[in-house]
Amino acid sequence: MLKLFKKTKDKIPKSEIIIEPKELKTPPLSKCGKPLLLDNTRWERRLHKELMSLIKEPPPGVTVDTESVQQNLSEWKINIKGFEGTLYEGEDFQLLFKFNNKYPFDSPEVTFIGNNIPVHPHVYSNGHICLSILTEDWSPALSVQSVCLSIASMLSSCREKKRPPDNTLYVKTCNKNPKKTKWWYHDDSV
């Protein structure tokens, strides 16, 4: 695995994606007649939907820290467990998702936080993750759940617990926001 990185200037696409509240819409009635509650802030509804489904039907090993989400819908803490039969079995990790108001058109900022940062060739000791779907391969069809699953599978497929080779330099010089790192994804096999 080889990774190069360099910092780039913030490149926020200049487009018309400014989200403002607008007139309340008439809520559609669900088929069973039970009121569908509408949170009227347009795109935030998607985030809310994702949260609800993640709480109600979490994928194995993934739990949302509801306490943290209650404070602020734009920052979620999510706990994931190392799967059985992998190098991380029995370990607990915590991910921090930060959403800006362009979500889902812009990817969430995802990092490992807490005491236990997994030792993994794609995870830096400051919690930054080198995963293409978190930056240039992001698609609005992805979701918190799919990101969690990708990270879980990234961990599961690891054959040797070690930090990325450029870890020391990167951690010293990188931006706080991993999205500002220009990643070179050379190796998808690990």
User: Where does this chain bind another protein (CB under 8 A)?
Assistant: 13, 15-17, 22-29, 33-43, 45-46, 49-50, 69-74, 104-106, 137, 139-142
Region of 61 please: left (phi>0), alpha (psi -120 to 50) or beta.
left
Nearest CB to another protein, comparing residues 4 and 37: 37
> Least CB distance from residue 135 to another protein, whole Å?
13
Count how many residues are written for the chain.
190
Nearest CB to another protein, comparing residues 20 and 160: 20
8 A C-beta contact, residue 133 and residue 142: yes
8 A C-beta contact, residue 137 and residue 150: no
> Omega of the bond prior to 104 within 30 degrees of 0, cis?
yes
Phi then psi dihedrals of residue 53, to 5 deg: -70, -30
> Least CB distance from residue 166 to another protein, whole Å?
27
DSSP letter for each residue of 150-175: HHHHHHHT-SS----TTHHHHHHH--
> Least CB distance from residue 102 to another protein, whole Å?
8
Nearest CB to another protein, comparing residues 58 and 156: 58
Catalytic residue numbers, as ranges: 130
Instruction: Give the largest CA-CA distance in the chain.
Output: 59
8 A C-beta contact, residue 183 and residue 135: yes
> Least CB distance from residue 121 to another protein, whole Å?
25
Nearest CB to another protein, comparing residues 38 and 113: 38
Nearest CB to another protein, comparing residues 16 and 160: 16
Q: Whole-angstrom Cα distance, residue 38 to residue 27?
A: 7
> Least CB distance from residue 34 to another protein, whole Å?
7
